[in-house]
Amino acid sequence: MTPQAEFAKLAAADGRGAIVTIVSGEGLGRKLLVRDDGSRSGSLGSSSVEEAAAEMGAEMMWAERSELREHGDLTLFVDATAPAPRLVIFGAVDYAASLCGLARAAGWRPYVCDPRSQFATRERFPEAEEVVAAWPEEAFGAIGGIDRATYVAVLTHDPKLDDAALTIALRSPAAYVGAMGSTRAQAKRHERLLEQGLEESELERLAAPIGLDLGAVGPEETALSIMAEVVAVRNGRSGGRLRDKVGGRIHEVGA
């Protein structure tokens, strides 16, 4: 199977990978497929070019975008494919139901986790990819662990649950970790997590209070606030008002 055919098969199966093509320079048209486990197929005609292309492919498959890159006298097109991003929601609460529905509408794969089986039910969260009634360590394992395309939102107010989820998430490669709670609650949580062994550098990753400042009221608007921050983080944006933006594209168009 050619690299291009394998890439098409990978994309059709919602897999993750990238194909790098020489679009200008020596070796025009050569292709290298880079998989998420680091393996490759195809050739660009030079081991040094292939090493550089593999790094570009790994970067783009996790950034989940495609772009042209320059390498010496060559122009390379890095075309990436990836499954829809995952939003893992801890806490089977009303806010979670609204967030789950909004995430699904935005093309994300939402997961709802809560050890309280009476609340973590498919009936309450029909939009969820999966509903897992388990404690954080088991729940993360049940959904395949945490990778660089996983976003975690902790919506509970129970230290036993949210501290356990945050400890795992903040020590993982998760792209985003956020948690609900007032400023006072966040300060208490910060102290608890330090006492449990987390470092300040790890806690700096925590987006808390979670969401953008929209003046949200109620579960639906709060879900919008959270989802807006998550999308902004995924796209490397600050989440400010477009009217205040200077230069650059307003709305990105996918490749």
- What are the distances in angstroms from CA 50 to CA 71, 121, 176? 11, 48, 31
Q: How many domains does the chain have?
A: 2
Domain assignment of residue 59, given as a range? 11-81
Q: Are residues 119 and 223 in the same domain?
A: yes
Q: What is the pLDDT of residues 191-204, one digit of tens each?
A: 999 998 999 999 99
* C-alpha to C-alpha distance for 61 and 95, rounded to whole angstroms: 31
Q: Which of 18-22, 108-112, 171-175, 183-187 has the lowest mean pLDDT?
A: 183-187
Compute φ and ψ for 155, nearest 5 degrees.
-115, 5
Q: Are residues 116 and 220 in the same domain?
A: yes
| Count, residues in the chain | 255
| Token pair for 69 | 């890159």
What's the confidence (pLDDT) of residue 16?
96
* C-alpha to C-alpha distance for 120 and 132, rounded to whole angstroms: 7
Q: Are residues 38 and 141 in the same domain?
A: no
Judged on CB neighbours under 10 Å (0-12, 13-18, 19+), 180 is buried
Q: Are residues 31 and 111 in the same domain?
A: no
pLDDT for 253 beyond 80: no
What's the confidence (pLDDT) of residue 200?
93
Percent of the chain with pLDDT over 70: 96
Mean pLDDT of 40-67: 94
What's the confidence (pLDDT) of residue 236?
87
Question: Do 89 and 71 contact (CB within 8 A), yes or no?
Answer: no
Q: What is the pLDDT of residues 137-156, one digit of tens each?
A: 999 999 999 999 999 999 98
Q: Considering Cα of 26, then 31, then 32, then 34, what sign does the dihedral take?
A: positive
Q: Are residues 76 and 98 in the same domain?
A: no
Confidence of residue 246 (pLDDT cuts 50, 70, 90): low
What's the confidence (pLDDT) of residue 61?
94
Q: What is the pLDDT of residues 111-128, one digit of tens each?
A: 999 999 999 999 999 999
Does a structural domain hold residue 255?
no
CATH number of the domain within which 118 lies: 3.40.50.720
CA 235 to chain centre: 10
* C-alpha to C-alpha distance for 216 and 220, rounded to whole angstroms: 8
Does a structural domain hold residue 193?
yes
* C-alpha to C-alpha distance for 52 and 192, rounded to whole angstroms: 43
What's the confidence (pLDDT) of residue 124?
95
How far does the chain reach from its first CA to its final CA, in angstroms?
A: 25
Mean pLDDT of 99-108: 96
Within a 10 A sphere around the Cβ of 236, how many other Cβ atoms? 8
What are the residues facing 109 on neighbouring strands? 86
| Token pair for 144 | 């395949």
What's the confidence (pLDDT) of residue 255?
40
Does a structural domain hold residue 116?
yes
* C-alpha to C-alpha distance for 181 and 154, rounded to whole angstroms: 10
Does a structural domain hold residue 61?
yes
Confidence of residue 247 (pLDDT cuts 50, 70, 90): low
pLDDT for 186 beyond 90: no
Which has the closest alpha carbon to 183: 217, 214, 210, 154?
210
Q: Are residues 73 and 104 in the same domain?
A: no
Mean pLDDT, the chain, rounded, equals: 92
CA-CA-CA-CA dihedral for 140, 141, 147, 151, to nearest 10: -20
What's the confidence (pLDDT) of residue 229?
96
Does a structural domain hold residue 207?
yes
